[in-house]
A and B are shown apart, each in its own frame.
Chain A
């Protein structure tokens, strides 16, 4: 926790647009930043491959050839006879396909939001849940589960989770502004820690009120991307808006990474950039949480992998995190539903299992940079 509170200097030196730096007269970039067509193409191909694998494998044995033909048939302007039974067809198109798509969208959103938070806070350990989004969503969802019978589960829980996530972030933001005038990002992070502890305490209290529902709360927290088409449709507009905003601000995040004063001297409205990216990242987080629960580690693991493979410019990190997060969560969900099939592991267990060792490695690496 204390690590999160200090203004970080640990992130690898970002590549900054050359034109902007020349005026500042500071360290010149080693290579020009910008979209990397080959890396991007490779990442997209990887995403397609993992989605295809996830679509063809599952607890119910469907002949891969039939499934592939059925998927082709599903695409517009293509028709193919898959020879699948109606049950198998429904299973593939109503269960597996939306599940894979939802995993991809949620993974992309969380990773992209994580990269955004890291840029805003200039802290490599920032993740989408830093400012109380998870605790807020956890609280409202627990309240819904405890106080209702779950009749309207399909919309009630996502709505509550979304409102809670947004509420948690706004509370932390307001608190950070009140507590530390001009205190910068460190105060904000501390406010996030305080809000998270407070909301989690209330959530735990609610849980105690109705221990019978403990399992449902727990299950929601560990995450689930099996929501079906309804949830995919639900999340799409929010996903689109937040991602577009974040991608557009990649360049300004690069400028921000040289420091507040330098960025300001370059004519950047630091406070506004920070607020806009924060809002967009929080919107992305809230919509992901709404349909999938609290899936950990995607938001912190993926941006770091991307940084190490493709460099630290946010114009590269943000889009590649989007694709990389999608790949990671599609594969994690594939593992979650096949390792002990026909039983399932909670997806949060898989992401944390793969993510936790990586997190330790990042901790070690950043310490080495600082000393």
Chain B
């Protein structure tokens, strides 16, 4: 994960917090008013009532009918769409969306969105994470509904985005199932982890080394396990993603090191040990360097559960050894 996206998280999390994610409840009411609730659950997804109003990052968005040509310009949204069963409705995803494998990957970019190229896919719904270059306004002017789903700032936001997308695509029930399932699994994993050891950790975003404090989404995940973040000593001025001093990391000597720069930058326990002064770190000596998947540790979609499992496993191993 690169702090580029992170910076956007910071900028957009405020927007998200303001707009809230009340879309699911409002939408559910909408469904109930037009159809018998018991009938809705029995019906196929196509039967879900449209139009629906979704409270997205860009305010309330009305989706007139069940979208059949969705374009996703956000890897997280792509994973969410496929998880809620909207995969068959997706016609194109951006160049960073590498999961799931059957997602129709294209050269479209979410970081440098090209309105003409997006419109050429004839979308009836576009989902993206950031309104870059005024793309939302331009697509809106062309009559294409756009959902902005910025990177989640906390777990509840991540769940809300899944139910939002379920509502917008006519997959309400499946989305509720997915979000509830995630919530239950994550709560269970957090509950069964030993928390009495007062373990410290260091989460690395790149070898510079950038880290993340406890206020960030990833920091909150570690917080579930009662871990103490060494990056929290950095002043607020450094933002939620401070570039730490290498000598500080060595001195802090964290119990566990989590690497979120294994794919981008090829980092591992071996490369860490080769850094000047790092070979003596107890996490390296005791093999407590956890190699995370960069994507898992930067996309707050359905696979957050896998991340939480990996963290929980590392905490259990460290606490019992």
Contacts and interface: CB of A to CB of B under 8 A. Distances in A.
A42 to B, nearest CB: 31
Interface stretch (A122-130, A180-188, A206-214): A206-214
Contacts of B287: none
B299 to A, nearest CB: 12
Contacts of B276: 94-95, 98, 227-230
B142 interface: no
A219 B275 CA distance: 18
A212 B250 contact: no
Given A150-B265, A224-B208, A344 B244 contact: yes
B106 to A, nearest CB: 15
B248 A150 contact: no
A342 B279 CA distance: 20
B234 A342 contact: yes
5 tightest A-B contacts by CB? A228-B276, A60-B251, A343-B242, A94-B277, A343-B238
Interface string A46-68: 00000000000011110000000
A150 B4 contact: no
- Size class of B's contact patch? 35 or more
Interface string B179-213: 00000000000000000000000000011101000
B247 A59 contact: yes
A80 B119 CA distance: 73
B250 A215 contact: no
Contacts of A214: 2, 4
B140 interface: no
Residue of A95, A213, A214, A229 with highest tally of chain B CB at under 10 A: A95
B280 A86 contact: yes
Given A215-B206, A219-B206, A343-B238, A60 B248 contact: yes
> Looking at chain A's contact residues, is the secondary structure mostly helix, strand, loop, or mixed?
helix
Given A91-B277, A341-B248, 7 more contacts: A150-B267, A151-B266, A154-B274, A215-B206, A216-B265, A219-B208, A229-B276
A346 interface: yes
Interface residues of A, number: 41
Contacts of B248: 59-60, 341-342
B62 interface: no
A342 B245 contact: yes
B208 A153 contact: no
Interface of B: 2-5, 96, 109, 111-112, 206-208, 210, 233-235, 237-238, 242-248, 250-253, 263-267, 271, 274-277, 279-280
Contacts of A98: 276
A249 B267 CA distance: 45
B127 to A, nearest CB: 18
Given A342-B234, A343-B234, A90 B96 contact: no
Interface string A224-237: 10111110000000
Contacts of B251: 59-61, 87-88, 91
A216 B250 contact: no
B112 to A, nearest CB: 6
A88 B237 CA distance: 27
A211 B95 CA distance: 11
B245 A153 contact: no
B2 A216 contact: yes
Given A215-B210, A342-B233, A96 B4 contact: no
A215 to B, nearest CB: 4
Given A149-B264, A214-B2, A224-B208, A343 B250 contact: no
22 contacts: A60-B251, A60-B252, A87-B251, A87-B280, A90-B277, A91-B251, A151-B266, A208-B112, A211-B109, A211-B112, A212-B5, A215-B206, A216-B2, A216-B265, A219-B206, A224-B208, A227-B276, A337-B247, A341-B248, A342-B244, A342-B245, A344-B243
